[in-house]
Structure 1
Amino acid sequence: MVPDTIGGFTPGDVLHRGGMAVLREATHPDHPGPLLLKLPLVAEGDDPAAIVGFEMEQMIMPRLSGPHVPHCFGVGYEPLPWIAMERIEGASLLPLLDTLPRPAGEVAEIGAAIADALDSLHRQGVVHLDIKPANIVRRPDGAVVLVDFGVSHHAQLPDLLAEEFHLPYGSAPYMAPEQVIGVRGDPASDVFALGAIMYHLATGRTPFGDPQHLRAMKRRLWWDPPPPRARQPDCPPWLQEVILRCMEVAPQRRYGSAAHLAFDLRHADHVALTARAGRTRRDPWTARIRRRFHPDHQQSLVRAVAAPHENAPIVVVALDLDTMSEGLTTSLRRVVRNVLATIPGARVACVNVLRTRRVLPDAGLDDAGRNKHVQLLIALRHWSASLNLPEQRLTHHVLEALNPAEALLDYASHNRVDHIILGARADGIGRRLLGSVAAEVARDAPCSVTVVRQRGHGSDRRAAEAN
């Protein structure tokens, strides 16, 4: 049930329901509109990644500006996560796919407008990572607006999707090879996706089809697509040159910037033609074999594009919100502040593990019909508010797993965590028979571990070092 008002905005009719969120018309007394409210899909059985991606969009959108992104009027987390933004007057590129292929001049014009939008986005430190026709909206004057930043990467913000999930996110027909193996944050990935879109517009077919499994998606690491002229002989050589340069497997062989790409698309006579321009067949099978089995090929997809925050130490605070006493809560906050005083610039990741069941289906909603994952995120935010850390130094994570200790250890290993702080379980028959999460984490963690006890229950804290 959607509340009557959300953050002062009044939600209206549903305009679009996507894989991760729903868009509703909205009104607000202080904003004439037209407005949209974006709400995550939080019903029973919805993908937890939808909520995490929504958090990323909430962090990124207020930081964006310019004519190529929707203006953001606000974000919030209660009574459920929301984003309020302008409603763009115009249509996406999706209807264009019903009348393919398109003339070369039109493909170049559309591609240049998209490249302008990407250049603006990249200059703001953001890589979109899901460039596809549905996420490209054209204003009446032809300017392009990019929408849906749920899988995007911001150079100054932690990457929540990369931290919590080990799968590639994006749209399979247009996804760059490095995204398939988990590389995020390279602007060249958006250049590849734009090349794939222009390929689709020029030939009427996507370059790699629409693979549904990771194994099939990985073929683009060593398979090149059929040249556009093999599928559409009328495609001019200069346009094929541009498209295939965008879609080079190695990021360093693509256009160095979206601005350079836009220039070439507007100045066909300036495009330097290479062997790419005249090709009518894929590379021979010998070349594909060399790429697939060369020991350095996959490494060539990874460029040095690490953001500043990625080198910052990470301190995980593991919180069992259902059982923590007020005394333990106070002790945990004190220990966190003490640890941060000794690790300047560290980021705090507040983590809760939502237990899943091995046999019975999991109930994603509580007795009041609210999404448990969302409610835990809200509770984590309340707990961390008194730490007074800026957004780029404070993140919140709800991990869904059968075993809390294994989930925490996997998160710590995957993200190279420097320190884990967690509360000791209260004494009781369950702890004596089953052991404790704290003991298992302290024993097996790849980093320092501080186990905090409430005052009056033994020592105030115990620290354990794990190799």
Structure 2
Amino acid sequence: MQRFEAGAVVDGFELVERLPSGGMASLWRATNPRYDFPLVLKIPFLDPGGDVSVILGFEAEDLILKRLSGPHVPRFAASGSLVQIPYIAMEFVAGTRLADIVGNAPLAVDEVARIGAEIATALTTLHRQKVVHLDLKPENIILAKRGAVLLDFGLARHAELPDLLGAESSVPMGTAAYIAPEQVLGERSDPASDLFALGCILYQLATGEEPFGRPTTFVGMKRRLYHAPKPPRDFNDAIPRWLEAVILRCMEVDRSRRYVEAAHVLSDLKNPDQVVIAGRKPQDEGLWAAIAKLFRKTDDRSLVGRSTSSRTHAGPSIVLAAVDLANGSDALAGEVLNETARVLASREDSWLACVTVLKTEIIGETPAADETGRSIYLKRLVAIKDWARPLHLPEDRISYHVLEAVNPADAILNYAEHNDVGHIVVGARASSAIRRHLGSVSTKVVAQALCSVSVVRLKTVEEQGRQPL
């Protein structure tokens, strides 16, 4: 992992001072004469063997931040390539971190409403730009003179861009204290998820308590689907009922009962007299009702309800190009590229997922770095980007994925099913006794894929010992 120090120059940006940083990236105050606003450089930790979600989060933030505008996000300046030194240069926003204010909670009601209104305003502008933050928490909010400014878009989702994180994983992504029920179940497309997080923040500001604590397991996070937090007034009966109603409506498990838009939360926080205060549900259901509830089978997704946002509807179809780059881009990889271009030409509304598989060992540890100490995952990611460059696709029509798996065919099939892929392009090596006995990647993909498949084969006889994909 490359080390940096004050005075170092990264692509024209001089590092001035290291700022408090998390475990995913280092943050530096920086200067560059090309920009007339204060700067911060975010440099991800890309050490071999590290969590690959760091790379995916970096690429997602780079794609999204450069498309955002307005006073409630940092201004984007520049970004660096994974081939050299990856970084994102953005505006340094002066102000008070909400994380520092939370330490003084509970706050006065007027202050809770004021801060909540600033965050709701920021979310309104963010959602209008077709972005869901998905990691809203006090650490990612700065209260500046211009209002609330949202930081860290590494987990965010843009409705018109490939979802790099969601495409490769369905595990919960977010901060346990604030994550929405639908996020726990793997959904990453609903602006209402940010409103749930806003409710958790308001709850914390009003009571001094986190509504769900900080669970460290999936089971612990799922509890919020079944167990509502204590009403805020149970901690402090000085909290007005209207504010409690706003907080609890933000935190409804069923999205049909949650706020639909941040603008509505903003309106209620600014106009308490218009807030509808529902009767409180009885807490004690009785012993037998409680026992029956324990044994009742439920579908988790039925609890969270359907999204009211049209942005969760299916978008353009996905073409998956599966290419073997284990030994570099060869003739077969070139033919897969040509066939992919032909398929895309006939499907102008689709976007392309470029997939290559990094094979892992069944027994033992798979090396994370090559003989030079460079990340093998990162090298493969750069290789697949180079492979796809001749297609000249805009970045909102293409994504790149390095899947780590023992069985390449299973990895491709799982990705295709998880992302509702409409068509697969895959290469096939020349027939051999080994492939006839064990079966090839392309054969299994054709046999089991739930979509159409184009198989590309070279006419020349290739060496038999090389593994496919």
**TM-score w.r.t. structure 2 length?**
0.89
Aligned to 2:413: 409
1:108-166 Cα offsets, whole Å, 9 max, x none, are: 11111100100110111111111101011111x26110001111111111212111001
Assess, with a 3 A threshold, how the Cα gap between structure 1 residues 309 and 272 changes in structure 2: closer, same or farther. Answer: closer
Q: In the alignment, does 2:235 pair up with 1:231?
A: yes
1:27 is matched with 31
What SS class does the counterpart of residue 335 from structure 1 fall into? helix
Taking the aligned partners of 1:361 and 1:235, their CA distance within structure 2 comes to 55
Deviation at 1:377, TM superposition (A): 1.8
Other-structure match for 1:463: none
Distance 1:142 1:71, change over 3 A: closer
User: Counterpart of 1:392?
Assistant: 396
Mapped to 1, the partners of 2:64 and 2:339 lie a distance apart of 30
Residue in 1 that maps onto 2:467 = none
Structure 1 match to 2:375: 371
Structure 2 unaligned spans of 5+ = 463-469
Is 2:124 the counterpart of 1:122?
A: no
- Measured after TM superposition, the shift of residue 246 of structure 1 is 1.0
Structure 2 counterpart of 1:464? none
Aligned to 1:315: 319
1:275 aligns with 2:279: yes
Q: Is the 1:185–1:306 contact (alpha carbons within 8 Å) kept by the matching residues of 2?
A: no
8 A Cα contact 2:182 2:304, kept in partner: no
Write the mapping of 1:14-163 to structure 2, written as runs, cut at 5 A: 14-77=18-81, 78-139=83-144, 141=145, 143-163=147-167
Amino acid paired to 1:178: E
State the SS of the aligned residue for 1:63. coil
Q: Secondary structure at the match of 1:338?
A: helix
The answer to whether residue 209 in structure 2 is matched with residue 208 in structure 1 is no
* Change over 3 Å in CA distance of 1:374–1:350 after alignment to 2: same
* 1:248 paired residue among 235, 248, 252: 252
Structure 1 contact 312–345 (Cα < 8 Å) conserved: yes
Offset from partner CA, 1:307-365 (integer Å, 9 cap, x none): 48833221111122133554223322211111122323121111111222233333322
User: Does the 8 Å CA contact 1:118/1:258 hold for their aligned counterparts?
Assistant: yes
2:94 maps to a residue whose letter is E
Deviates more, 1:151-160 or 1:339-348: 339-348
> What is the aligned counterpart of 1:382 among 378, 386, 389?
386
1:182 aligns with 2:220: no
Distance 1:292 1:192, change over 3 A: farther
Tell me, in whole angstroms, the C-alpha distance in 2 between the residues paired with 1:295 and 1:26: 50
AA aligned opposite 1:137: I
Q: Would the aligned equivalents of 1:75 and 1:84 in 2 still touch at CA under 8 Å?
A: yes
Greater alpha carbon shift after TM alignment, 343-352 vs 57-66:
343-352
Distance 1:142 1:290, change over 3 A: farther
Q: Secondary structure at the match of 2:400?
A: strand
Q: Which of 180, 190, 195 is matched with 1:191 structurally?
A: 195
Moved more, 203-212 or 372-381: 372-381
Over 3 Å counting, the alpha-carbon distance change for 1:354 and 1:12 in structure 2 is farther
Answer with 431-440 or 313-322: which moved more.
Answer: 431-440
- Return closer, same or farther for 1:428/1:66 CA change in 2, 3 Å cut-off: same
Show the counterpart of 1:305.
Answer: 309
Residue deviations 1:198-219, cap 9 Å, x none? Answer: 1011111111111111112112
TM superposition score normalised by structure 1: 0.90
Give unpaired runs (5+ residues) of structure 1: 459-467
**Matched position secondary structure for 1:99:** coil
Deviates more, 1:356-365 or 1:390-399: 356-365
**1:126 is matched by which residue type in structure 2?**
V
Moved more, 241-250 or 26-35: 26-35
Displacement of 1:292: 6.8
CA separation in 2, counterparts of 1:430 and 1:15? 56
Q: Secondary structure at the match of 2:43?
A: strand
Provide the aligned C-alpha RMSD in A. Answer: 2.6
Identify if the C-alpha distance between structure 1 residues 308 and 390 changes in structure 2 by more than 3 Å, giving closer, same or farther: farther
Cα distance change, pair 306–182 in 1 and its aligned pair in 2 (3 A)? farther
Cα distance in 1 between the residues matched to 2:456 and 2:122: 49
- The answer (yes or no) to whether the contact 2:21–2:27 under 8 Å persists in 1 is yes
The alignment covers a number of residue pairs equal to: 454
Q: How many Å separate the matches in 2 of 1:325 and 1:93? A: 49
Instruction: Please give the alpha-carbon distance, in whole angstroms, between the structure 2 residues aligned to 1:308 and 1:237.
Output: 33
Deviates more, 1:319-328 or 1:343-352: 319-328
- Aligned match for 1:443, one of 435, 442, 447: 447
Contact 1:119 1:257 in 2 (8 A): yes
Alignment partner, residue 347 of structure 2: 343
Q: SS at 1:289's partner residue?
A: helix
Partners of 1:415 and 1:255 lie apart in 2 by 28
- Residue identity matched to 2:60: M
CA distance in 2: counterparts of 1:188 and 1:218, whole angstroms:
17
Please state how far the C-alpha of 1:29 moved relative to its aligned partner.
2.7
2 CA distance for matches of 1:194 and 1:450? 46
